[in-house]
Amino acid sequence: MTVSAQSTNRNIRAARDFGRAAGGALIFCLPMLMTMELWWLGFYLERARLLILMASALPLLVLLSRYIGFEQTRSWRDDVVDALIALGIAGVVCTSLLLLFGSITFGEPPHAWLGKIAIQVVPAAIGALLAKSQFRAQSDEESTDQERETYGGELFLMAVGALFLGFNVAPTEEMLLIAYQMTKWHAVGLVVLALILMHGFVFAVEFAGGSTVNEDEPWWHAFIKVTLPGYVLALAISLYLLWIFGRTDGLAFDTAIMATVVLAFPAAIGAAAARLIL
Amino acid sequence: MNQNDDAQRDIDKPMIEWIVGGISAAIVAVLLGFLVYEALFADSLPPSLTATIEALESTDEGTVVRVAVTNGGDKAAAAVQVQCIVVGREGAEANREIELDYVAGHGVRRGAFIFAERLDPQLLIEVEIVGYTEP
């Protein structure tokens, strides 16, 4: 093969990779891009929280790239570069769509449209990184599966799943509205149902293979080792997201707990299904 | 050598898994305990709303009356209407109304009334709750 043909090949591959990443960003982020609460949050959210969101996203993206990202990465430096590329692609995707939806206009002050884009970029970047692993999975299944085998990796993947589903609903007003409608007994029921459904997913995935839990262990081993930590992760991520989006402001302790339990329901499903959907 | 390493890892791994699992079980137990305790013993009082003036700010555009609405009840109130009445020197009244979408039980929400004219702080300014709906 000639040198020019090789470089053309590489260019095609790079273009395809960027395309996949953009597609992933779109799939993850579209529901959020079309949610009006997020446009508003973009300009009224405290800049400090936006900064914390971005700052906490970077290590997450680097870790994500480490586990299941873009190419078979060799060093942490590559992972950081991949995370930054994902953020860049996410930025382009979010900016173009928000422009097309007319939700950012040139008449607005820069802090307003910057905020609107910044708040969307994080989930879109997660999508961009995941998409590459998704499309790539067929060819490299063995190597990625081996990396997912560790317990830490499994919990990390659950956290990403929780973040994925949580992000989509956390900014909506319905999270609080549902919490207001519920009594404490409803909340108890929701926690129990979340645990049952989660364990159903964990159990189903065990048969699909790749879990750290042995098949001949009794069911409650997996429940304690995987399901419960997964649910606690979902709770923690829910509280974090509610706080980032300013949904816990002015709430009493028990109402904040209720809202966290409400958001933890989709987050838990996301966590448990992470292995299936990511 | 390799087998020894593997065996060592197999012993270490479940230990960590059980520790993480144990801590998680404790957290979920505390959460469920809290919710059941609240369900059994906590009151479930209807919304009890009070509005208070937090600040009176004079700007070039007029006066901003900042108000905080506190819900002393256990249940949340929706569509909370708040009214601000200013009684002038000649007895003339100015009225403003705002609506807060929700005020959670034992929660606080803030808002502001805007008057185009500069208000004398000596004037009688009152805020009151007009009404609310159930969420």
Q: Give the count of beta carbons closer than 10 Å to the beta carbon of residue A147.
A: 13
Supply φ then ψ for residue A85, to 5 degrees: -60, -45
User: What six digits make up the tokens of B92?
Assistant: 């003339």
pLDDT computed for residue A137 by the predictor: 46
Confidence grade of residue A1 (pLDDT, cut at 50, 70, 90): low
pLDDT computed for residue A147 by the predictor: 45
**Cβ separation B75–A251 shorter than 8 A:** no
In this structure, the strands spanning B77-87 and B108-115 are unpaired
Supply φ then ψ for residue A150, to 5 degrees: -70, 155
H-helix segments, A184-278: 184-208, 219-222, 228-244, 253-277
Q: Which residues contact A232 (CB under 8 A, 6 or more apart)?
A: B23, B24, B27, B28
Percentage of residues in chain A with pLDDT exceeding 90? 44
* Closest CB to A184 among B20, B21, B35: B35
Confidence grade of residue A149 (pLDDT, cut at 50, 70, 90): low
Q: Which residues of chain A neighbour B13 with C-beta distances below 8 Å?
A: 151, 212
Q: What is the Rg, in whole angstroms, of the alpha carbon atoms belonging to chain B?
A: 27
Distance CA A93, CA A201 (A): 32
Per-residue model confidence as pLDDT tens digits over B88-118 = 777 767 889 999 999 999 999 999 998 888 8
pLDDT computed for residue A206 by the predictor: 63
How much is the average pLDDT of A109-138? 81
* Closest CB to A252 among B18, B78, B104: B104
Better-predicted residue by pLDDT, B87 or B78: B78
Distance CA B11, CA B1 (A): 16
What ipTM does this complex have? 0.84
Confidence grade of residue A215 (pLDDT, cut at 50, 70, 90): low
Nearest residue to A101 via CA among A50, A174, A42: A42
Mean pLDDT of chain A: 85
Distance CA A149, CA B14 (A): 13
In this structure, the strands spanning B77-87 and B49-59 are unpaired
Per-residue model confidence as pLDDT tens digits over A72-87 = 556 888 888 888 999 9
pLDDT computed for residue A143 by the predictor: 46
Per-residue model confidence as pLDDT tens digits over A43-63 = 888 899 999 999 999 999 998
Residue showing tokens 């090789």: A6
**Cβ separation B17–A212 shorter than 8 A:** yes
Distance CA B108, CA A243 (A): 16
* Closest CB to B135 among A180, A212, A254: A180
**Cβ separation B18–A224 shorter than 8 A:** yes
Q: Is the pLDDT of residue A243 over 60?
A: yes
What type of residue is A14?
Answer: A
Mean pLDDT of chain B: 86
Q: Is the pLDDT of residue B2 over 60?
A: no
pTM for this one? 0.83
pLDDT computed for residue B4 by the predictor: 53
Nearest residue to B79 via CA among A276, A177, A142: A177
